[in-house]
Structure 1
Amino acid sequence: MLERWFRRSLVGVDIGSRAIKVIEVEAQAPDRLRVIGVGSAETPPGALERGQVREPQLLARGIREALAQGKITQRRAALAVSAHLGFIRRLSFPRMPLKELRASIELQAERYIPFAHDGAVFDIHPLPSGDEQPEMSVVLAAAPRSTVTGLMTAARLAGLAAERVDLEPLALYRAAAATGQILPDGAVALVDLGASAAVISLFDAGVPVVSRVLDMPNLEQEARAEGTEEIFWDIRRSLEFALTQVSVPLSRVLVAGGVGGDDYLALSLAAYLRSFLANRLPGDFAVQPMRDPGDRVPLSHMLALGLSLPPELFT
């Protein structure tokens, strides 16, 4: 049953401030993927504002253009909530069935989710622990209900059936795992360089620990030399803080994204971080672009790749 599920393809839809990236992948195993189609299109001006859908019809048009550009006919899709709108937290509770825990969180949502008073959707994932432990640990992931509704409306207008709405850091981690660059028991930082923001996410043995969004203004070709130095400094400071939050050494910084699929930002950041952080980190520390070993997936489409992968592959 599960094997048949894994072989079904799914299109990941990454809606950025300037570009919409789509990819259809048939996943047979975490390291056995068949890329069926890759496409992109400009995000229509006015369709999106800081991750919130303002004009669903406009956004739907951009999604259709990206699908057509990639010659993708699949209509089952996974979408992502922008990192600065989503919320991830590790929590501990007295041991109880997950059904009861979900009901308890829903009744006290404002206690755990900062934007719950405006409406939120959430899910929980239990972390491994011994049965003798009096408490259980879970990862709580949440997003504003209005954000999820807007994304699903735009997808429906584009002719897609949204089967999953995910948070960007979680999807990007799955992409990193699929490229074979994750050490299961180590700490890894993921840096997603978008057109208007950089998302820095830290995972400790697969568990999200820190996620931070940094604005990235004025990164057009003529402004890169001046703009990148400031944003790279912010990223370095964020990683220095992240080093205090993990129980094991930070062994990898993986860089994804880049404007229009351009590797310039990723490669420049790699050189910058090596020069400032390498002497404080273990000998096997590396800063690398999040590369697909088969060069089937552009750096700009890594988030879309993670969306297209069923979470069940990694549990």
Structure 2
Amino acid sequence: MARNLVGLDIGSRFIKAVQLTEEKDTYSITQYARIEIQPQEPIPDALRGIFESNNFQTKRVVTSVSGRFVIVRYITMPVMSEDELRNAAKYELGKYIPFEVDEVIHDCQKLEEVQEPTTPEGEKEMRVLLVAAKRTFIDEHTSLLEDAGLQPHVIDVDSFALGNCYELGSTLNPEQQDRNKLIAIIDVGATKTNINIANATTSYFTREFYKGGDDITDVLCKKMALEVKEAEVLKRNPGSEISRVSECIAGTIDDICHDINISIDFFENQYDRRVDSILLTGGCSQTVGLSEDIERTIGRPIVKWNPLENFEINLDDEKKAQLTDDMPQVAIALGLASRIRKD
């Protein structure tokens, strides 16, 4: 029997919804929609509209959160069982979060054992992922979904959704399943940039910083006296204005590239491992000159990632064309829907 799950990426300006269907160990995209949130429009109304206007087969949704009320930490702990880890995690949390432990919802996951003993006593240790979010923040987010008549299944984190999208895509294409290859997925969105450094099965480092496409748009509006929609088009397709546009946005792009570079440098120095491949996605990834500037700053090639490439797409021609056009923007929504594999 087929099972459906909808990944719902609620952005600052757009909502993207991807329905993934699992049947007989195959995964296919069976519905897609993207809408722009209208000024002053309540989020539940926008969510209700996207489901009423499109033929989604389920109201079970996976969404994500981010920001200062969400804490992600990668730590080392003595090797212990899963039950012991869950008991120990709440005590470890207090060292890393700016809230009281009883004010947060938290989870933990063992990643891998450290190969060489790192304690003075020679005890074996393991790397652990700790995630915590302010309880009131999650409650508010859940209420938005329930007010729209939806059924929250999982509340995830944006950067983990990127990793889940890559992981499921790699499963569908065994040639990509190389556990020794490290990839950095960089999603440059409207208001923020997410980074996830992972292999085909495990995330080792995530970071988000609040710089993105809106900053580039704002610069163009100010320097070239443009309306927002004009600037949005021009930054992707500057045509004969390419020299002027490139000059106007150079400083902002440099800032984004700098933060990406120091993130990758930090990981490589911390883990003494080199990132083998860098995948670029997100709505802002189409900005003129961005991928080339990242390549130049980091000193290695950038691949513009197509998160859809290994998935079967069962949509009518119009929907398929829309999904293809929106390809750089759907990685998080598709990664959220990829949670169907872990049900």
Report the TM range for the smaller structure's normalisation.
0.7 to 0.9
Distance 1:25 1:104, change over 3 A: same
2 CA distance for matches of 1:130 and 1:239? 21
Q: SS of the counterpart of 1:244?
A: helix
Equivalent AA in structure 1 for residue 27 of structure 2:
L
For the 8 Å contact 1:94–1:134, the answer to whether it is kept is yes
Distance 1:14 1:239, change over 3 A: same
1 CA distance for matches of 2:193 and 2:203? 20
Q: SS of the counterpart of 2:113?
A: coil
User: Following superposition of structure 1 onto structure 2, how do residues 233-272 of structure 1 map, counting pairs within 5 Å?
Assistant: 233-258=258-283, 264-265=286-287, 268-272=289-293
Unaligned runs of 5+ in 2: 118-122, 171-175, 218-229, 236-244, 314-322
Higher alpha-carbon deviation: 159-168 or 185-194: 185-194
The answer to whether the aligner puts 1:215 opposite 2:239 as a matched pair is: no
Match of 1:40 in 2: 34
Q: Which has the higher strand share?
A: 1
Q: SS of the counterpart of 1:229?
A: helix
Match of 1:309 in 2: 338
Q: Percent identity among equivalent residues?
A: 23
Q: Deviations over 1:187-218 (max 9, x none)?
A: 22121121122222333672332413132343
2 CA distance for matches of 1:63 and 1:301? 17
Equivalent AA in structure 2 for residue 255 of structure 1:
L
2 CA distance for matches of 1:247 and 1:290? 29
The answer to whether the aligner puts 1:176 opposite 2:172 as a matched pair is: no
Match of 1:277 in 2: 298
Q: SS of the counterpart of 2:309?
A: coil
Higher alpha-carbon deviation: 304-313 or 227-236: 227-236
Q: Deviations over 1:78-107 (max 9, x none)?
A: 110125542222223334333333233335
Unaligned runs of 5+ in 1: 48-57
Deviation at 1:18, TM superposition (A): 0.8
Match of 1:293 in 2: 309
Match of 1:124 in 2: 108
1 CA distance for matches of 2:113 and 2:264? 28
Deviation at 1:15, TM superposition (A): 0.8
The answer to whether the aligner puts 1:81 opposite 2:65 as a matched pair is: yes
2 CA distance for matches of 1:185 and 1:74? 37
Distance 1:100 1:64, change over 3 A: same
CA RMSD of superposed structures (Å): 3.2
Equivalent AA in structure 2 for residue 269 of structure 1:
L
The structure number with the bigger radius of gyration is: 2
2 CA distance for matches of 1:288 and 1:69? 31
For the 8 Å contact 1:123–1:142, the answer to whether it is kept is yes
Deviation at 1:44, TM superposition (A): 4.6
Distance 1:287 1:246, change over 3 A: farther
Deviation at 1:140, TM superposition (A): 1.1
Deviation at 1:108, TM superposition (A): 5.7
Q: Deviations over 1:205-244 (max 9, x none)?
A: 7233241313234333527433452433443343344432
Distance 1:115 1:78, change over 3 A: same
Equivalent AA in structure 1 for residue 231 of structure 2:
E
For the 8 Å contact 2:165–2:307, the answer to whether it is kept is no
2 CA distance for matches of 1:184 and 1:250? 12
Q: SS of the counterpart of 2:156?
A: strand
TM-score (normalizing by structure 2): 0.72
Match of 2:87 in 1: 103
2 CA distance for matches of 1:93 and 1:29? 39
1:229 pairs with one of 234, 238, 253? 253
User: Following superposition of structure 1 onto structure 2, how do residues 195-214 of structure 1 map, counting pairs within 5 Å?
Assistant: 195-203=190-198, 206-214=202-210
Equivalent AA in structure 2 for residue 310 of structure 1:
R
Q: Deviations over 1:250-273 (max 9, x none)?
A: 1221122206xxx623x7432222
For the 8 Å contact 2:5–2:340, the answer to whether it is kept is no
* Number of equivalences: 289
Match of 1:94 in 2: 78
For the 8 Å contact 1:187–1:252, the answer to whether it is kept is yes
Deviation at 1:163, TM superposition (A): 1.1
The answer to whether the aligner puts 1:153 opposite 2:153 as a matched pair is: no
Deviation at 1:293, TM superposition (A): 1.4
Q: SS of the counterpart of 1:159?
A: coil
For the 8 Å contact 2:163–2:335, the answer to whether it is kept is yes
